[in-house]
Amino acid sequence: MLVELARRQGLLTKDCEIKMVKRPRDPESALIADFLKLYDWLVDNACKLASADRISDVVSEDTAYRLYVQLLNKEAYRAFRRSLYAGLEVPRWGRVLLLGAGLIEPANFVEAAQMLGVRPDFAVQEVDREICEELMRLSSSYNYTVYCGYDIGESFDGVVVQNVLHWAEDPQRVLIEARRLGRRMLCSQGVIEGASVGFL
């Protein structure tokens, strides 16, 4: 689909090379620049995947997860998260909960706090047992509290829901819980199931 869209818009040249087009804002903010780098990488790799000799409509769950992890580990995405947190000054909100944190989020949050010159006060929550155990192992390095599961017995000045909704069986419940736990909420969603590539 991405290949066909690129062809129709005259952006696809050959071998999945995408013509650069003028960005809507010049100069653009660091936040938008980081997001567009991520999006360019995503489109380029989707194009290469779609142009492969053999391709099926559905990839295995293991393959999908591996590609997702590659995306999350791209420097452009890490830079995007740092810019998002620093740009909105989330580390200055007070005590913050990273809901569905994963393994990369805490480090990016600490880096954003350092960009702002503040010492972060935050906790992380995760439902995956293996990820939770790894977060507990890393917690002493970044000085955060870990909540495994949904039993969180405190409230926060802010809650971050970063790229979590597409994993949740009940995304609405996640948002309701986030609003219950925090006075403020940041919801950033890069991939939404059933909606192609979206951003919220």
Taking alpha carbons only, the member of 137, 89, 143 closest to residue 121 is 143
pLDDT in tens, 66-118: 666 666 666 767 787 888 898 889 999 999 999 988 888 899 999 999 999 99
Handedness of CA 68, 69, 74, 75 (dihedral sign): positive
pLDDT of residue 164: 84
Q: Rg of the Cα trace of the chain?
A: 18
Token code pair at residue 55: 């391709």
Taking alpha carbons only, the member of 29, 71, 22 closest to residue 46 is 71
Query: What does the alpha-carbon distance between residue 136 and residue 174 come to, in Å, rounded to a whole number?
Result: 22
pLDDT of residue 62: 73
pLDDT of residue 194: 46
pLDDT of residue 197: 42
Locate tokens 């999908």: which residue? 64
pLDDT of residue 98: 96
How confident is the prediction for the chain on average, in pLDDT? 77
Query: What does the alpha-carbon distance between residue 86 and residue 122 come to, in Å, rounded to a whole number?
Result: 15
Q: 187 by DSSP, 3-state: which?
A: strand
Taking alpha carbons only, the member of 167, 93, 168, 86 closest to residue 123 is 93
Residues of the chain with pLDDT under 70: 1-61, 63-74, 76, 190-200
Taking alpha carbons only, the member of 110, 177, 118, 111 closest to residue 139 is 110
Taking alpha carbons only, the member of 26, 184, 200 closest to residue 99 is 184
